[in-house]
Chain A
Amino acid sequence: MMKIFQHPIVAVSMMIMCVLTVAGCEVGINPLIIDGAAASDPVRVDIDAPFPPAILASSNVDLDDILSDLGNADSIRLYNLTLLATNTTTAPATRVNGSIRIRMAGSARQDTLANFSGLLLTEFLTERSIFDKTISGFTVHPQGIATLVLALRSPRPLPMATVYIDAFADHSSLHLTLHLKVYAQIFTMP
């Protein structure tokens, strides 16, 4: 019976079978990229014109939420930062001015993420990237972004970030809830 396998045609057939059966299909050869996000606690803003002229509100963002229960993260990279305004009773045409700053836990320094001047409130009634260059009156500051990028590269657990928002509206009251969200890509170990 074993002589059958010594026949060239049979041997080739067997070889093909073996190749098909054990041909290496290596799975998981490269780092898997998982999207993660961390949202700020909602920041409620209520200003009845004409007083007070500006508000200062703060909210925490637990950057470790990006990783959740993912245990084998190798590195994390920021790819988007968004703002969303909800529960607003402010007139849609209201223009707002102010800034968003960020401070990492353990640091006294606040870095500006963005300034806005004459920003139409309607721009953020749907979630928008702060990097969207079509938003008029909104300027992103590289230093604040760099602080966030650096924080995402720090050892786990990732730090808590505090976001400060100061804002005032021209000729109008301001009632809304702001949400800041950090989007990142997590690279798992292959």
Chain B
Amino acid sequence: MPYTSGAQTPFEDAIKQLSSDNVKGYIQPFVNGFGGNLNSGLSHTAAIGSNGVFVEFRAVGMGMLIGDAEKLYKALPPAPFPQNEIETATVFGDLGTVVAGPLPGIDYHFQNGQVRANILPFVVPQLTIGNVLGTQAVIRYAPIPQLNDFPRITLLGGGLRHSVTQYFPGLPVDIVASAFYQQFTVGDIFDARGFSYGGMMSTSFSVLTIYTGVQLERSTMTLDYTFQGDYTTATKVHLDLEGENRVRATAGFGLNLGGFLLNADIGLGKVRTVSSGIGFSI
């Protein structure tokens, strides 16, 4: 059975060589990272006017911090190798573990890591429009073409932010409730979705805004590929992977310099993310 997937990127090829049981561990940090990124950087202030024209455009950069925990996972080698769990490299790891075979010259190499980074970055444009009854709509759209060996990414998402402060006049801080849904595809074999909802409060001192918030989130990634690795027929694999980040606390600050916006924050949960935005509002 010849190898026929040369048109894919190395990243996708690496995944295709893993059985469905092992692919989850190999790719899980990537799922966590993209899910974590996807649900990052959505807000940088809880202040929303009740009515009036508001347009804000920002470029939002975000990234999951990649530590040792994201670089290793446990996997089983294929038969006839001993069916003992082996710790080996994830997609963010280094060289895959080698399992000795029954005779000299026969061994099994787990897939090598394919991405070296301390942070998994992602940048998206974000448009916020409002305000109607203290509500803003947030739209994200990012068609990113294939760059070198990294597959193309298409992101489309939207959400609503609603001012809670307007119901409690006199509060010393602004409070907003929000919900966002996003969907993206990566290459030919990934389809991912993210959903988050939560609350944020902020307070401003002149041009400086300090904000903090908590959100519940969910991210899923679906993989469809043909596993070429073993025995007589190619096996079609369908995988539903779920990001491990469910709750996130965020803290950050922003600057509004006459409509020119800057912000940076950190998100803490199962995965650690940082995000920063730059843009303008009218």
Contact = CB atoms under 8 A, between A and B. Distances in A.
Interface of A: 4, 9-10, 12-14, 16-17, 19-21, 23-37, 39, 65, 67-70, 77-80, 82, 84, 127, 129, 131-133, 140, 142, 145-146, 149, 181, 183, 185-188
A132 B121 CA distance: 45
A29 B121 contact: no
Contact of A17 (B101, B116, B278): B278
Given A13-B262, A25-B115, 18 more contacts: A4-B257, A13-B263, A13-B276, A20-B61, A20-B122, A25-B150, A27-B148, A28-B149, A35-B230, A68-B4, A77-B106, A77-B107, A127-B232, A131-B80, A131-B106, A133-B80, A145-B103, A181-B232
A43 B32 CA distance: 49
B229 to A, nearest CB: 4
Interface of B: 1-4, 6, 9-11, 13-14, 17, 61-63, 78-80, 94-96, 101-123, 148-150, 208, 228-232, 253, 255, 257, 260, 262-264, 274-276, 278
B103 A32 contact: no
Contacts of A185: 108-109
14 contacts: A14-B278, A16-B274, A17-B276, A23-B121, A27-B114, A27-B150, A28-B114, A29-B116, A30-B114, A33-B111, A35-B3, A35-B228, A79-B78, A79-B107
User: Do most interface residues of chain A lie in helix, strand or loop, or is the interface mixed?
Assistant: mixed
Nearest to A141: B103
A30 B113 contact: yes
A36 B108 CA distance: 13
* Most B-side CB within 10 Å, residue of A12, A31, A35, A145: A35
Given A27-B114, A33-B96, A142-B104, A186 B10 contact: no
A109 B13 CA distance: 38
Nearest to B111: A33
Contacts of B103: 131, 140, 142, 145-146
Given A35-B3, A131-B106, A20 B62 contact: yes
Contacts of B3: 34-36, 67-70, 186
Output the residue of A13, A14, A78 with the most chain B CB within 10 A: A13
A71 to B, nearest CB: 8
Nearest to A145: B103
Nearest to B62: A20
A78 B208 CA distance: 62
A29 B276 contact: no
Given A13-B262, A13-B264, A27 B115 contact: yes
A185 B157 CA distance: 40
A37 B7 CA distance: 19
